[in-house]
Amino acid sequence: NAGVTQTPKFQVLKTGQSMTLQCAQDMNHNSMYWYRQDPGMGLRLIYYSASEGTTDKGEVPNGYNVSRLNKREFSLRLESAAPSQTSVYFCASSGSGRAGEQYFGPGTRLTVT
């Protein structure tokens, strides 16, 4: 039982390049989330998916797109990376257990130069 996995662990992009961050969970959870974490800003929700087939914007969605590929997988895409998107990105999932309880992946450290 791996929990929530994320790939890649590290990535360096040039401004304007695109990339997709991958997330998968093996806990049969319905809901999945993408956050970014910046120094002094805490964790901020980018997008979430309440269930397979649905996605919604969070607090900071601009510059990102998401795809809920199936129940297990939720990807985050940067179409044209900007230095302001330099951050640590976390994926999380939650199921039918305690309300609000989320399980986090190990994160992807992204640097945009």
Partner 1 sequence: QKEVEQDPGPLSVPEGAIVSLNCTYSNSAFQYFMWYRQYSRKGPELLMYTYSSGNKEDGRFTAQVDKSSKYISLFIRDSQPSDSATYLCAMSARSGAGSYQLTFGKGTKLSVIP
Tell me the window of 11-19, 62-70, 75-83, 94-102 that interacts with partner 1 (CB under 8 A): 94-102
The DSSP secondary structure of 16-80, one letter per residue, reads: T--EEEEEEESS--SEEEEEEEETTTEEEEEEEESSTT--EE-S--TTEEEEE-SSSBEEEEESS
Tell me the window of 18-26, 60-68, 71-79, 90-98 that interacts with partner 1 (CB under 8 A): 90-98
Binding flag, residue 11, partner 1 (CB under 8 A): no
Binding flag, residue 16, partner 1 (CB under 8 A): no
Q: Which of 13, 47, 74, 105 binds partner 1 (CB under 8 A)?
A: 105
Least Å distance, CB 105 to partner 1, is 5
71 vs 103: CA distance, rounded Å: 15
Q: 105 near 23, Cβ under 8 Å? A: yes
Binding flag, residue 51, partner 1 (CB under 8 A): yes
